[in-house]
């Protein structure tokens, strides 16, 4: 007779699989419901996604033996941020006395490693549909069908922007430097890929809604010409090496992260609970922090409490809401600041960037916070 499940995880992306592996180590019976992954590869359209993961996320993935090799998790040693006038901010791993500021991880490689680990974990049952369990964890992404089914309010603030993602090759090697430009309300990021000596980039370009279709439909040469202008020719000639993928941007948070549905306990994690603007690359870091917090709450529970105990779920919710609120508010504030038009706004924000660059301890604190080291 099949053993009953302790946990049913709805969502088999990076967040869901990592959580399943952590909970399986606790000797819990875990069901993992398979779902199509947004942006996943197909024979005609390879997956172009890449994430910036901080030291805390790296440690979590290493703990389940799923951290990619250096070729697919490129260490960032420097970060350059340029404003729309003379403002600039620079971060250096050497100055902060850390091995790396962040790591740019190739999503298909990470997902494949997690899938292999799940396959060989006997405590995890891969499901085609949900099964009853003592606790349901919803991590299906921002368009979660279970969240809607359970009637959980999801407060969405759409931005008048889309993100465009693609892969590029650059004439000048990236030198393990992540680069970002704020200009005319748009945000362009070049993320180094393919290891220390690589000349490949992951592109994330947040553009006005009115421009997105033109840029997606432009031929490769025209698109790269626009990128060269926006990036001030910093890496020489650029070549598009993948298809382009675009999606609308939003800030969103669920009103509740834990509750009961028809008497059965549930919690939210990852993008099903919160979305932030990608300008600082914190989205997946927040999702993996949810995973770590939930696994810790369950590991440290009193021996008499079931995994779905309401008090445990409230502990998890409280432990994560403040962090997510602070990060989301900061990202929203920056997005709003750089979307304002006019000379006075431009002067103020670039003055602020230069002041932050010289701020010493404040700049170090913000950097370490983003790296998950505080």
* % of the chain at pLDDT higher than 90: 68
Q: Flag whether 167 is in a domain.
A: no
For residue 152, the model assigns a pLDDT of 95
Cβ partners under 8 Å of residue 139, min gap 6:
9, 10, 11, 13, 15, 16, 19, 268, 269, 270, 271, 272, 287, 290
Q: Flag whether 366 is in a domain.
A: yes
Mean pLDDT within 159-163: 93
Helix ranges (DSSP H) in the chain: 14-24, 55-63, 93-96, 107-119, 145-149, 209-217, 220-230, 283-299, 310-339, 343-357, 361-370
Question: What band does 278 get if pLDDT is binned at 50, 70 and 90?
Answer: confident
For residue 41, the model assigns a pLDDT of 44
For residue 1, the model assigns a pLDDT of 38
- The label of the residue with tokens 């996604």 reads 49
Question: What band does 43 get if pLDDT is binned at 50, 70 and 90?
Answer: very low
Question: What band does 172 get if pLDDT is binned at 50, 70 and 90?
Answer: very high
The CATH number that applies at residue 325 is 3.50.50.60
Number of structural domains found in the chain: 1
Tell me if residue 369 falls in helix, strand or coil. helix
202-241 burial by CB neighbour count: b if 16+ within 10 A, else e?
bbbbbbeeeebeebbeeeeeebbebbeebbeebbeebebe
Q: What is the pLDDT of residues 316-336, one digit of tens each?
A: 999 998 888 888 887 777 777
The single-letter DSSP state of residue 87 is -
Q: Flag whether 352 is in a domain.
A: yes
* % of the chain at pLDDT higher than 70: 96
For residue 374, the model assigns a pLDDT of 62
Asked whether 353 and 294 are in contact (CB, 8 A), the reply is no
Asked whether 201 and 169 are in contact (CB, 8 A), the reply is yes
Q: Flag whether 180 is in a domain.
A: no
For residue 40, the model assigns a pLDDT of 46
Q: Flag whether 245 is in a domain.
A: no
Mean pLDDT within 239-261: 94
Question: What band does 37 get if pLDDT is binned at 50, 70 and 90?
Answer: low
Return d(Cα 288, Cα 19) in angstroms, integer: 8
The answer to which of 39-48, 95-104, 144-153, 298-307 has the lowest mean pLDDT is: 39-48
Return d(Cα 26, Cα 40) in angstroms, integer: 30
pLDDT score of 360 more than 80: no
Report which of residues 235 and 185 the model is more confident about.
235
* Length of the chain counted residue by residue: 374
Q: Flag whether 27 is in a domain.
A: yes
Closest CA to 91 of 179, 202, 173: 179
For the chain, the average pLDDT equals 89
Mean pLDDT within 43-53: 80
Q: Flag whether 79 is in a domain.
A: no
Host domain of residue 261: 5-68+107-157+250-370
pLDDT score of 357 more than 90: no
For 115, counting Cβ atoms within 10 Å of its Cβ (0-12 exposed, 13-18 middle, 19+ buried), the class is: middle
For residue 36, the model assigns a pLDDT of 65
Asked whether 46 and 313 are in contact (CB, 8 A), the reply is no
Q: Flag whether 95 is in a domain.
A: no
């Amino acid at each position: 007779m099949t053993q009953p499940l302790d946990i049913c995880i709805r969502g088999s992306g990076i967040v869901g699989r990592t959580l399943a592996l952590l909970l399986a180590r606790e000797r819990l019976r875990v069901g993992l419901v398979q779902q199509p992954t947004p942006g996943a590869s197909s024979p005609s359209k390879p997956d172009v996604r890449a994430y910036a993961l901080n030291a805390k996320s790296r440690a979590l993935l290493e703990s389940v033996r799923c951290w990619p090799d250096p070729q697919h998790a490129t260490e960032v040693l420097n970060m350059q941020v340029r404003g729309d006038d003379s403002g600039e901010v620079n971060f250096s791993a050497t100055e902060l006395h850390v091995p790396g500021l962040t790591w740019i991880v190739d999503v298909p490689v990470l997902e494949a490693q997690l899938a292999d680990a799940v396959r060989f974990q006997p405590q995890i049952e891969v499901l085609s549909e949900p099964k009853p369990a003592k606790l349901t964890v919803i991590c299906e992404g921002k368009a979660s069908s279970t969240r809607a089914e359970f009637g959980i309010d999801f407060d969405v603030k759409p931005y008048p922007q889309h993100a465009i993602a693609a892969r590029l090759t650059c004439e000048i090697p990236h030198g393990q430097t992540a680069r970002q430009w704020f200009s005319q309300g748009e945000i362009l990021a070049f993320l180094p890929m393919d290891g220390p000596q690589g000349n490949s980039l992951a592109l994330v370009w947040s553009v006005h809604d009115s421009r997105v279709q033109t840029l997606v439909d432009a031929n490769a040469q025209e698109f790269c010409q626009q990128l060269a202008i926006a990036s001030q020719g910093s890496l020489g000639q650029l070549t598009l090496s993948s298809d382009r993928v675009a999606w609308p941007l939003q800030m969103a948070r669920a009103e509740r992260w834990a509750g009961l549905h028809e008497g059965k306990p549930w919690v939210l994690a990852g993008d099903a609970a919160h979305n932030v603007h990608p300008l600082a690359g914190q989205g997946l870091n927040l999702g993996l922090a949810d995973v770590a917090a939930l696994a810790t709450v369950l590991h440290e529970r009193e021996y008499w409490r079931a995994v779905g105990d309401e008090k445990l779920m409230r502990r998890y919710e409280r432990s994560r809401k403040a962090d997510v609120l602070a990060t989301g508010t900061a990202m929203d504030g920056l997005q709003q600041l750089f979307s304002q038009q006019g000379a006075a706004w431009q002067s103020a924000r670039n003055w602020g960037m230069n002041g932050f660059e010289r701020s010493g301890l404040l700049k170090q604190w913000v950097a370490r916070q983003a790296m998950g080291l505080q």
